[in-house]
Structure 1
């Protein structure tokens, strides 16, 4: 039994791995938003993320994320720093002889992106900047790395350092000069939001557009992995697939996002009970129950999102609800106009007369044909149906002539 118990460090490591993947994915998305004509961006192909430039240069990105960046600093003997340089040194070595290795380094840029800040005592990175300014030689940097090799007590880090030191001086120099560190790169979500804002997307639609692009890229990534393909997207393909959503984000048109059924007990919904009482669906009709609940949630959640993002005002919601209720009332009145129950006022919560069910079904069928509009924008029929299901769930409308007695007052 004890073997199944996870320690706090196990849980933290798992959390950091999940967040690390999200950090990597969102950096990929951020790179796509910055992509220029002729470029392509890859996810977990040549590196965590890479950008191929039209001039033949490839920018390789290694993403390093920690859950608690305030408690972690990028020190000169940081394991993640030297493991990354070690991995790149292995790739460089695989390029071939010294000339081929030099050419590989010359045609690539090596970038470490991390949410950690550089430690105050990271002398290696300070010396690295001096190398780039020609204030130190590659021999000086080799001595610095050799000093770190002597200083560390970690055999693992020693092996990382040794592999970097195995590079020829000519290769080591160009590799280090092409090495970049983007530290304190945190809050990547806000950086993406800023990019979308810069692309003139309506501020009230930015989160919606982000969710659409995010979901599309994740589905595409899944399909690529499933089909054993590489997730590389060119400038042209990215714009072909997603330009339409950026355009939608720049108009006044409302964007309707679909929502799936995520209710624990969907059979307990009042609108579902009403449909079951009519025989429109049964208690085992999972497909329609889930679908209709999705329609209801789509309307409910979109109205909230539009209000919160300032795309509509309360007056638009009130008008939308009143219009829906008026259209329902017209259909309800027409369906039940000539119904004369044999025993007026008699309510039976168990038995529903067949004639009442038939007329209620006629009302339901008519209402399902109605297209509604929000702020003058026409909604698809399924979303219009969702509004009526929502009102039914809120006890504001019903189908049976005695629906108010059967299902109670409005919530």
Structure 2
């Protein structure tokens, strides 16, 4: 078998790109979980870091691979893996960074005390002797001594200069400090599900499944542009909860209040159309003839279409009761203004002419629910619904005649 790699394989950047994308997706998912008083950084203190409101910090180093074993599983994280040793070494260099004010032992110990170090990787770690030994050493003096012996033997047997340097730096740490440091290290195995994890985080914000990808796209675009603008102007890409919240609200509300589907229903008309309260008043003011069953059925159909759509939206969780009631209130206000306008000079309690003028004006009114423009039939149906439920009327003293 020819094991030589093609030139294109050697120069291909796709695996590097996917590693960078993974980091950014991880950043997005953490941002969706950010809480008040916290801030999140990308490629600042580490690949990703979280500053908590209590003053503690979580540093997250992300190591992603596309390499697979013969059985199809992701490759193992070995004890001399650069992803492991270099990550720990970089943290040690940060702990002892004199340029960041950590020259003294006390300052280094305080830094470790207030920092959690996370290595998140999709490589398998179950059989890694370094991690097994390090975990055992956490909080146990005898096992800690065994961990030191393990590191010393590892140093003797490893051949790579880079690995030797990393292990030597670990062993050169003050033992008390090293013990506290390894107790602050967490190794997380990340399945290759980061995109679905983000989708789940979005779904948890009460976004419908069919809108999740739209929200995802808006968030990704917002953050990519923000990242470019900040870095291009020489700033660090750090996002505070207070900075992110209004942007997140704008994105989520855009899809939480999206256009509702107006559905067509088979409308079960009542057997006695004339006995409906809204029809009775229309007959009384002479708007329709008491024998005109066809017109009564048409108006009843408009009303039922509104009622059945609202019931469907509410039952499906597409709207809230408060939204529905607010819409009825707004429609009632339109009626109230028209009723007052046309009955301002009404003397007779049975002023049919003014009642007709009132309903004619109301019938020309096209309503809007959230972002939906109601057509004229739905708008008429809303006013018939209110009339049928004795919320509005056309005569000046309609309440005395029709309201229970």
Q: TM-score range by the shorter chain?
A: 0.5 to 0.7
SS of equivalent residue, structure 1 residue 67: coil
Cα distance in structure 1, aligned partners of 2:256 and 2:247: 17
Structure 1 pair 376–119 and aligned structure 2 pair: CA distance change class (3 A) = closer
Could you tell me whether the CA contact under 8 Å between 1:82 and 1:161 is conserved in 2? yes
Q: How many Å apart are 1:7 and its aligned residue?
A: 4.0
SS of equivalent residue, structure 2 residue 108: helix
- Structure 1, unaligned runs of 5 or more: 255-310, 312-372, 379-411
Could you tell me whether the CA contact under 8 Å between 2:136 and 2:144 is conserved in 1? no
Could you tell me whether the CA contact under 8 Å between 2:31 and 2:40 is conserved in 1? yes
1:6 alignment counterpart? 7
Q: How many Å apart are 1:139 and its aligned residue?
A: 2.6
Q: How many Å apart are 1:36 and its aligned residue?
A: 1.0
SS of equivalent residue, structure 2 residue 234: coil
Superposition RMSD in Å:
2.3
1:183 alignment counterpart? 189
Q: How many Å apart are 1:174 and its aligned residue?
A: 1.0
Pick from 187, 199, 202: which aligns with 2:205? 199
Cα distance in structure 2, aligned partners of 1:110 and 1:251: 40
Structure 1 pair 376–198 and aligned structure 2 pair: CA distance change class (3 A) = closer
Q: How many Å apart are 1:27 and its aligned residue?
A: 0.7
2:29 alignment counterpart? 30
Cα distance in structure 2, aligned partners of 1:17 and 1:52: 27
Q: Between Structure 1 and Structure 2, whose CA radius of gyration is higher?
A: 2
Write the mapping of 1:289-308 to structure 2, written as runs, cut at 5 A. Answer: none
Cα distance in structure 2, aligned partners of 1:376 and 1:138: 64
Q: How many Å apart are 1:377 and its aligned residue?
A: 4.1
2:347 alignment counterpart? none
2:86 alignment counterpart? 83
- Structure 2, unaligned runs of 5 or more: 1-5, 261-317, 319-367, 374-404
Pick from 207, 215, 218: which aligns with 1:212? 218
1:58 alignment counterpart? 57
Q: Deviations over 1:26-83 (max 9, x none)?
A: 1110110011111100011111100000111000000101112535211112111001
Write the mapping of 1:244-323 to structure 2, written as runs, cut at 5 A. Answer: 244-253=250-259
Could you tell me whether the CA contact under 8 Å between 1:16 and 1:66 is conserved in 2? yes
Q: How many Å apart are 1:249 and its aligned residue?
A: 2.5
Pick from 235, 238, 259: which aligns with 1:232? 238
1:358 alignment counterpart? none
TM-score by length of structure 1 reads: 0.58
Q: How many Å apart are 1:230 and its aligned residue?
A: 1.0
1:261 alignment counterpart? none
1:152 alignment counterpart? 158
1:102 alignment counterpart? 109
TM-score by length of structure 2 reads: 0.59
- The 10-residue stretch of structure 1 (150-159 or 46-55) with the greater mean CA deviation from structure 2: 150-159
Cα distance in structure 1, aligned partners of 2:112 and 2:53: 17
- List structure 1 segments (4+ residues) > 6 angstroms apart after TM superposition: none
Structure 1 pair 100–139 and aligned structure 2 pair: CA distance change class (3 A) = farther
SS of equivalent residue, structure 2 residue 7: coil
1:44 alignment counterpart? 43
Paired residues in the alignment total 254
Structure 1 pair 136–250 and aligned structure 2 pair: CA distance change class (3 A) = farther
Cα distance in structure 1, aligned partners of 2:142 and 2:256: 51
Could you tell me whether the CA contact under 8 Å between 1:138 and 1:169 is conserved in 2? no
Q: How many Å apart are 1:137 and its aligned residue?
A: 4.2
2:123 alignment counterpart? 116
Cα distance in structure 2, aligned partners of 1:88 and 1:250: 42
Could you tell me whether the CA contact under 8 Å between 1:40 and 1:235 is conserved in 2? yes
Could you tell me whether the CA contact under 8 Å between 1:92 and 1:105 is conserved in 2? yes
Cα distance in structure 2, aligned partners of 1:148 and 1:250: 56
Could you tell me whether the CA contact under 8 Å between 2:259 and 2:371 is conserved in 1? no
